[in-house]
Amino acid sequence: MTNLTVNLKEKIGFGALFLATMAVVVPVLCIIWLIVTRGWSAISWEFLFTMPRDGMRAGGIFPAIVGTFYLVLGSVAFSLPVGVMAAIYLNEYAKDNFLTRMINLAIINLSGVSSVVYGLFGLSLFVVFFRFGVSIISGSLTLGIMTLPVIITTTREALRAVPKPFREVSFSLGTTRWQTIRHAVLPFALPGILTGAILSIGRAAGETAPILFTVAAFYLPNLPNSPFDQAMALPYHLYIISTQIPNIRLDYRYGTALVLVGFVLIMNISAIVVRSKFRKKRW
């Protein structure tokens, strides 16, 4: 009798865990299915590589793709070096004192700030105070600051995972602290650091609120030619054509969503390929 109830409990517990996992997987599959089935018919050479026409009801979304590409590149170019350096400082140099604990707290809180607040912050700091205007550089820096906590946290985890004896061996061979970090710690933390970069690419590409006031344009007839130009971007473009433009074909919206998801996927896959190359190089 007791055996039966134990078995029953086991089954219920297993079922609950399985359902929880399904609750994660099912929405993802539904979203992908929805986007692909409704958007696939819009995907064409023209859709991907030409400018929009007829009040964005026809033509392509090329400028939005280019804009998002620039924004992702710009934000990672800012947040990866700054984030990695901050993580190195915090993990390898900083002593465990009040200041360090406050910095840690700040980083944790930073990742909890809502994205629209980053947008307003970017507007007041980069657009207005630094006079970068509404531009790719303002948008990239805003997205960069937003993704900084992700990069710092993952980099610190990666640095912590490098065995302490590696550091001791390196020091015992008469190296300076920086030589030890550069040659006995960073090479072995690189795959983990790249994971942080991958995560931040996905966030930077997908966010709408931070770029709303800092870079995004409703419609531009030309592609941007300098970092100080405005740009269109995929998430904002999707928002506009879904809410501001009446009588637009349904597959145009879903096609845009499909391109955005595909874009993040392609960038993630290329970063994962780079990461696995480094993993192999380790031994």
Residues that bind another protein (CB under 8 A): 95-96, 163, 165-176, 179, 183-184, 188, 282-283
Our CB check for another protein shows the closer of 172 and 225 to be 172
Q: How far is the CB of 214 from another protein (least distance, A)?
A: 42
- Smallest distance, another protein to C-beta of residue 279, A: 11
Nearer to another protein, 184 or 260 (CB): 184
Closest CA to 64 of 239, 235, 268, 255: 235
Residue closer to another protein (CB basis): 104 or 268: 104
Nearer to another protein, 97 or 225 (CB): 97
Under 8 Å between Cβ of 146 and 115: yes
The rounded distance, in Å, linking the Cα atoms of 279 and 283 is 8
Which letter, b or e, does each residue of 226-261 get, where b requires 16 or more Cβ atoms within 10 Å of its Cβ? eeebbbbbbbbbbbbbeeeeeebeebbbbbbbbbbb
Beta-carbon contacts of 78 under 8 Å, excluding residues fewer than 6 positions away, are 140, 141, 144, 145
The least CB distance from residue 187 to another protein, in Å, is: 9
CA distance 74 to 231: 13
DSSP state of 227: T
Min dist. Cβ of residue 194 to another protein (A): 17
Nearer to another protein, 71 or 184 (CB): 184
For residue 60, the one-letter residue type is G
Phi, psi of 57 (to 5 degrees): -85, -15
Query: Of 31, 82, 34, 47, nearest to 256 (Cα)?
Result: 47
| Closest approach of another protein to the CB of residue 227, in Å | 39
Neighbouring residues of 242: CB distance < 8 A, sequence distance ≥ 6: 253
C-beta of 195: minimal distance to another protein in Å?
Answer: 19
Separation between Cα atoms, residue 112 and residue 260, nearest integer Å: 24
Q: Which is nearer to another protein, 129 or 283 (CB)?
A: 283
Nearer to another protein, 44 or 179 (CB): 179
Cβ 71 to another protein, closest distance in Å? 37
